[in-house]
Structures are given as structure tokens and as C-alpha cells.
Amino acid sequence: MPYRPFRQVPMAPADPILGLTEQFKRDPNPNKINLSIGVYQDESGVNPVLKSVKQAERLWQEQEHTKEYLPMPGEQRFGELVRDLVFGARHPLLAQQRAVTVQAPGGTGALRVAADFLYHLTPKAKVWISEPTWPVHRGLFAGAGFAIETYPYYDDARHALRFEELLATLERVPEGDIVLLHACCHNPTGLDPTAAEWQRLAEVFARRPILPLLDFAYQGFGDGLEEDALAVRTFAQADLTLLVTTSLSKNFGLYRERVGALTVVSGSADEAERVFSQLKVSVRTIYSNPPAHGGKVAEIVLCDPALRTQWLAELAEMRERIQAMRHLLVESARKAGVQRKLDFLLEQRGMFSFSGIPKEQVLRLRAEYGIYLMENGRINVAGLTRKSIPYFCQALAAVERGRAAAG
């Protein structure tokens, strides 16, 4: 008998986000809309390659002269550029050499390096994630070995932050634990703390022996590149030891190139050097060294004044289109007779909105209309277009009325 060690392997459940996209691709409905995965789409319903990125790719194709491995932490220049984006180029902790960065395969890769580094350091610590959060947060940190706890974040009924409860929870997070926060454009709710609230959060972290990790996947999709850095900079200003995971996959539209980074801010340059050595060990044992292409393209764009200006304009265009879709959706829903009040969508930022659409309607939207959103009601607003919004609103009004499929 051949050895069949996988005979008992159970079928894993489909991924709550990527699994829906697989299902969407198989759906023959010509009107189908994918509002599940957080990928920007333009007015024609396509995820475009940015013009600045295309130009940088052309330049790089000419210049590239080797395919040798990158160093374990990636390109040094890339790390400097990421720190400038995150903290602002003149932040004192950069001159103090207290921040170190490793280039990673996407924001997810950066989170995985953070989890590995932290687990080796403090395996007994728990990781606190927001309720709700991006589903991968739980799986990724649990997979690294951590016990997971949640803190209250979003009030479904009021479409508001549970800020005081969040603060109260932080007061009782045990010493040494890690708290994961979304630096902007909270995924899935689209609702972030205000500037004053970030300040109050920073004060708690400054007073308590707990470690903040800021997941910064959507810089530039909220209010602007600089504006969205408010949380990270408030925490840096409070002189906190802190981890920041960055994704450039989204703001450069380089999704499939997997471009991200982990930045760790330590108490001194000496501490930072030792942390950096440990991050390299984590990188080496997970993926050895990062992919080069996307990081190089981002580097070229950021260092060339004309390309940088063009990129900023393209980023603004994406951000403004998402905002325009929020307004159009709210207005069109009202006109289509959707009962659910959606005005709160206008308070939310970034790609995502927690629509509050109940699961049974989400399932009908999918089965009867080919409209895919996450089962928890999260919509990727960046997946809507002027053309698809009327169809979405009619479908929503119909499933609200409990009517049979209109076809």
C-alpha cells in the first residue's frame, strides 16, 4: 500500500475575500460586479496600470543589468523612501537612525515578518485586533503562534466608532501584549479615529507597556498621502516604540508585484541595529529576500520629480473617484427606493465601507444578481462605476423588498 499521509486532510473553507473573486470569475452573469476584493478599478471597471508606473517600468527595463538576489532587507534606498513616506522626510527619528525598514512581498509579507520577529521575542504575548478587522490579521498572527484577542471598534447600529470602549480595553491589555491598529482607511469599516482620538490613543500607549503595530496599507486613499500619515506621525511624535507595515501594492497599483515594507521604530540607534539583524533572520527563514521589480518601480517613481508629480495626481484621481462613487451610491440608492439609509458611507474613507447589508441579502445579491460583497457586508467602493451603480441599487432595493430575482 502506498503511503497516503494526506488521506485525512480536510477541505479548507474558501478565503472570505479571495474565494469570492474565484467564484466571481466563474459567474456567467454579464452584469456581474465584484465588490469583494480591495482592488481599485477605474470607470471602465478595470484595474489600470498607472502611467507613472508604466513609464518607470520602461526606464527600468533599459537600466536593469542583473537578476542577482536583493539583500535580505531589500534595497536600502527603498527603505529610506518608505520611511520618508511614512514619517515625512525630516522626521527627527530618521536622523537618529531609530527606524529600520525591510522590503517585503506586500503588506501581508510585512505583517508576516513582524509576526515572526515578535513571536521569537515574546511568544507569550497576545495580539489584539479590532472587531471587526481584515480576516487575514487573525489567521496570520495565530498562524505565527500568537493567541488573539479583540478590542471593540465599530458600532453597527450607530455606524460609529466604539471609541471609549476601545480606550477602556487598551487600559486593561496586559503588559507586553501587541495591539494592531489600522493607520488609515480601516478595513473593513472605512471608519478611522479622528486626530483628537489618535492623540488620546497615543497617550495611552505612551503610558502603558503595550506595543502598537500600525497596519498602513492604504496611504493616499483616505484624505491624501500626508494627511493619511497622521496616526503614524502622532505615535512617532509620542516617542513610542512601534511597528508600521506599509503596502505600496495599492497606492502604486502594483498589486501583483507584491510591494510592501516593515518599519520598526526602536528606542535608540543601537537597539535599531539589533532589531534589524533579527528582522533579517525572519526574512531569511520566510522568503530569503524580497522580489525586486515592484520596489524598484516605486523607487524610480518616487525619485524622479516628474514621475512623482504624475503619480501623486494619479493617486488623487483614484481617491477622488472613490469619493465620487460614495456620493453617487448614496444618491442613487435613495432614488432607487433602497430603504436602508446609506448616508454614513460619506463619513467613511478609503476603499471599504461596512454597508450593514445583512448576510441573507448579501447572499441573494450574489446568487440572483452576480453582485459580490463580503458576507459581513463590506463593499469595495473602488469596484463601483457610474455604469454599475444603478444596477447595484436596483438589486439592493429588490432584495430588501424580498422580491424574486428580476433577472
**70: which DSSP letter?**
P
To the nearest whole angstrom, how small is the minimum distance from the Cβ of residue 390 to ligand LMR? 24
To the nearest whole angstrom, how small is the minimum distance from the Cβ of residue 210 to ligand LMR? 25
Q: Which of 38, 212, 220, 260 binds ligand LMR (CB under 6 A)?
A: 38
DSSP H or E segment with residue 128: strand 126-131
DSSP helix/strand/coil, 158: coil
Closer CB to ligand LMR, 56 or 185, in the complex: 185
To the nearest whole angstrom, how small is the minimum distance from the Cβ of residue 381 to ligand LMR? 12
Closer CB to ligand LMR, 187 or 263, in the complex: 187
- CA 218: distance to chain centroid? 5
CA distance 21 to 401: 27
34 binds ligand LMR (CB under 6 A): no
What HEC string does 211-263 produce? EEEEEECCCCCCCCCCHHHHHHHHHHHCCCCEEEEEECCCCCCCHHHCCEEEE
Q: Which of 117, 134, 151, 311 binds ligand LMR (CB under 6 A)?
A: 134
Closer CB to ligand LMR, 93 or 217, in the complex: 217
Q: Which of 20, 33, 35, 37 binds ligand LMR (CB under 6 A)?
A: 37
DSSP H or E segment with residue 294: helix 293-303
Closer CB to ligand LMR, 134 or 311, in the complex: 134
Phi/psi at 161 (5° precision): -70, 145
140 binds ligand LMR (CB under 6 A): no
Q: Which of 34, 169, 187, 282 binds ligand LMR (CB under 6 A)?
A: 187
Closer CB to ligand LMR, 37 or 395, in the complex: 37
Bond before 28 cis per omega within 30 degrees: no
- Annotate 303-334 with b (16+ C-beta within 10 A) or e (fewer): ebeebeebbbebbeebbebbbebbebbbebbe
To the nearest whole angstrom, how small is the minimum distance from the Cβ of residue 37 to ligand LMR? 4
To the nearest whole angstrom, how small is the minimum distance from the Cβ of residue 359 to ligand LMR? 18
343-362 residues near ligand LMR, rule: CB under 6 A: none
Q: Which residues are identified as catalytic?
A: 134, 215, 250
17 binds ligand LMR (CB under 6 A): yes
Residue ranges in contact with ligand LMR by CB under 6 A: 17, 37-38, 134, 187
